[in-house]
Structure 1
Amino acid sequence: MPATIKDVAKLAGVSIKTVSNVLNGYRYLTDETRGRVERAMADLDYRPNIAARNLRRGRTGVIALALPNLSSPYFAEIAHLVVKEAAARDLTVLIDATDGDPEREKLVAEGFRSQLLDGMILQPWSISAPFLRARVDKTPLVLLGERRVPTADSVAIDSRAAAQAAVAHLVGLGRRRIAAVGAPRKRSGPLEPGRRNEGYERGLVENGLPFDPALVAHPVGDHTPEAVAAAVDDLLERAKDIDAVFAFNDRAALGVIRALTSRGLRVPEDVAVVGIDDIEAARLGTPSLSTIAPDKPGIVRTALELLTDRIAGVDRPARQVVADFTLIERESTLGGVPHH
């Protein structure tokens, strides 16, 4: 006969409630108590009936994750981390790609099929802050990214500060004609590119360099290699003397390196390149890519903590968490500084 929670409690010398607290990830237990319960579960080969437990709680054990684009290496990494972190909490993740479409994002925010879900994590690109503030559905929701509202928990890096750090790194290497690739042509859409553009401009001024609109390139579309190559061509037509590029994400940065190399320019000897995201390809390319690395595990862990608190009924004001980031210096900026 399979072991029961009562058997575990007896062997560990604790109450059934204490065993339940361990199973539910209750934080306020001593390491000694938690260890006794976990050893007892291992000795008895105890397997909790998750479905029954969720049914008793009135929960499904399922959460949704809605991201703009799963073909993006950054969002693919976030999805992988969410699934892994959720599994550690006995949660199953349903993943949706919204393509940044406002109607699809609204369906998520309004709790479409929310009776199947305990909670939702959403990275909005198109829907407005007023729409999110007016949300009626009570399904717990955590936002990723910088479209923050006072009525929902959220977690994101400070894209403006990240861009400033990237520019400061390039200036510290002696670069003076620093271009930007990825700036938005209009204010609508995701907030991050606009904030990174602000950080780029602010970073130049803070380091005593003028802002030159001729140094800003706007790739068309989703930073495809073709779009980035066309943007680099346009940039070099207008400003042949650039000695550095700050790309608004790593995918664009890798495209910039390829485009520069195909045009006979050396990276970093002629033009240094830095991106944002620290995707896996940034570490594997030649040259490897200097980048701003968001604390992706920390972002995901915080999002799941915020969401599971809400699912558990924790009542508190919404939290807007600013996640950490790190500048990682690699070959695309450290291979040499041009002499002026």
Structure 2
Amino acid sequence: MCDVNHSVKTMSSSDQKGSARRPTQADVARLAGVSTATVSHVLSGRADRKGAGNAQTRARVERAMKQLDYRPNWAGRALRRQRTGLVGALVSAGGNPWRDSLITVAKRELAKRSLDLVVFPDVGEDEATDRLAELLDRGAVDACFTVHLEEAGEVAERLERCPIPSVAFAEGDAAGLPTVRHGYAEAAAEAAVRLRDRGVRRFMIATEAMGPGHSLWRDVVDPIRTALAGGDADELRAEHLEIDYRISADLGPLDWASLEAAGPEDPIVLMCSSDRLAIQIAAECERRSIDIGRAVGVVGRGDIAEAAERRIPLSTLGTSETRYEDVFAALAASAESGEKLESGWEFPWHVIERASTAGIGRQA
């Protein structure tokens, strides 16, 4: 059996001179001491049978590919297999930390099945949606998933009619696609009721600026208002403030005079539509020497690491029970088989209380 490193040392000068041309599978096979069929099996991912011999063969082929700087012709492979090896992520304009972490999990899990992720941003805008529809019709991806595109209903409808497997991260209607749901509205209502029952009488609901029909109405504003309306507390107030958020948040709309005047006996709670907004509001409160956790409570949404790592950790809405790996493993299997997914997943969010609200309403 031929060793790759030994083979490299004993290559003839004519082989070395010819190395400027693009290497082929035959070159890889010759250098690794295997057949071209074995190289093809390794590239296709089919050489996965158990056993030390098989693992050693794969390692020799991979070392040979690296030595030769061999780059597979994926276009040709896709044509032969009727698969592109690509999975699409369809997302709306603008990023957020939770979505970025989701994309990272997707890339990692899909890579285990030799699939690559392609992100299509700005879906929902007319021009972007038209381009996407054309790509789907051309079979540009083997499967895809959407992230919070309920406002772009035509995208979900198009995917539902499309033969490729798809799944939607969505709380609302996804036109019949299998969904991954989190129960955002229930978590927001739970947080509001918990704090109301501890004596909080004033709430400020702070969201990024949004138009009519935006999902934040359904997931944040309306459930908080509805939950608070169900109580019998006197003089209970819940006001909604839209914050212009571009590079950073414009916090001018907040009633800073009231926040600075709040105390442990009459606290105010800020319910924020995202952790990133909550972090900026909490930082400004601290700059103004507002007593977070006793006079003013701050609740975020999304459970990103930065919120938990602050000097005063922020309460938030989220869950530690997600298994997004299972979602993307199932989608990868469907991408390979071509069969659509039949069912979805639920990862319910709940209140994760930390120091920014833990003392609110519990003063001696």
C-alpha contact (below 8 Å) 1:254/1:282 kept by paired residues: yes
Structure 1 residue 120 and structure 2 residue 121: aligned? Answer: no
Shift of 1:103: 3.4
1:80-119 → structure 2 map (5 Å cutoff) = 80-98=104-122, 101-108=125-132, 111-112=135-136, 114-119=138-143
Aligned pair in 2 of structure 1 residues 249, 210: CA closer, same or farther (>3 Å)?
farther
* Matched residue type, 1:231: P
Question: Which of 214, 219, 233 is the matching residue for 2:255?
Answer: 233
Equivalent of 1:261, from 286, 296, 307?
A: 286
**Inter-CA distance 105–280: structure 2 relative to 1 (3 Å threshold):** farther
Q: 1:67 aligned to 2:80?
A: no
- TM-score, with structure 2 as normaliser: 0.70
Determine what percentage of the aligned residue pairs are the same residue: 18
Q: What is the Cα deviation at residue 220 of structure 1?
A: 2.8
Among 243, 250, 254, the alignment partner of 1:219 is: 243
User: Is the CA contact 2:153–2:174 (under 8 Å) kept in the aligned structure 1?
Assistant: yes
Alignment length, in residue pairs? 314
Deviates more, 1:197-206 or 1:45-54: 45-54
Query: By how many angstroms is 1:263 displaced?
Result: 3.3
| Alignment gaps of 5+ in structure 2 | 1-31, 63-71
Change (3 A) 1:329 1:203: same
Q: C-alpha root-mean-square deviation of aligned residues, in Å?
A: 3.9
- Secondary structure of 1:232's partner? coil
**1:126 positional shift:** 6.7
Q: Note the C-alpha offset of 1:140.
A: 3.0
Residues 193/109 of structure 1: CA separation in 2 closer, same or farther (3 Å cut): farther
Selected match of 1:329 from 353, 359, 362: 353
Equivalent position amino acid for 2:241 in 1:
A
Deviation per CA, 1:25-82: give whole Å up to 9, x if none.
Answer: xxxxxxxxxxx81655435445698958765531121112232256422222122111
Give the structure 2 partner of residue 42 of structure 1: 55
CA distance in 2, matches of 1:100, 1:280: 29
Distance 1:298 1:5, change over 3 A: farther
Note if 1:274 corresponds to 2:299: yes
Q: Is the alpha carbon distance of 1:333 and 1:115 closer, same or farther for their aligned partners in structure 2, counting shifts above 3 Å?
A: same
Alpha-carbon distance change, 105 to 335 in structure 1, aligned in 2, over 3 angstroms = farther
The residue type equivalent to 1:143 in the other structure is A
Alignment check: 8 A CA contact 2:293 2:357 kept? yes
Aligned CA distance change for structure 1 residues 311 and 255 (closer, same or farther; 3 Å): same
Which amino acid is the alignment partner of residue 127 of structure 2?
A: E
The one-letter code sitting in structure 2 at the alignment partner of 1:144 is F
Aligned 1:240-319 pairs, distance under 5 A: 242-294=267-319, 298-299=323-324, 301-306=326-331, 308-309=333-334, 311-315=336-340, 317=342, 319=343
1:176 is aligned with what amino acid?
R
The reply on whether 1:132 has 2:156 as its aligned counterpart is yes
Distance 1:281 1:93, change over 3 A: same
Kept in 2: contact 1:178–1:243 (CA 8 A): yes
TM-score (norm 1): 0.74
Gaps of 5+ in 1: 8-15, 24-35
Q: Secondary structure at the match of 1:202?
A: helix
Would you say the 8 A contact 1:153–1:320 is kept in 2?
yes
2:325 and 2:33 map into 1 onto residues whose CA distance is 35
**Is the Cα contact below 8 Å between 1:105 and 1:127 reproduced in 2?**
no
CA spacing shift, 1:225–1:316, aligned 2, 3 Å: closer
Contact 2:299 2:356 in 1 (8 A): yes
Deviation for aligned residue 1:244: 1.3
Larger Rg: 2
SS of equivalent residue, structure 2 residue 50: helix
Q: Which residue of 1 aligns with 2:12?
A: none
Contact 2:202 2:237 (8 Å CA) reproduced: no
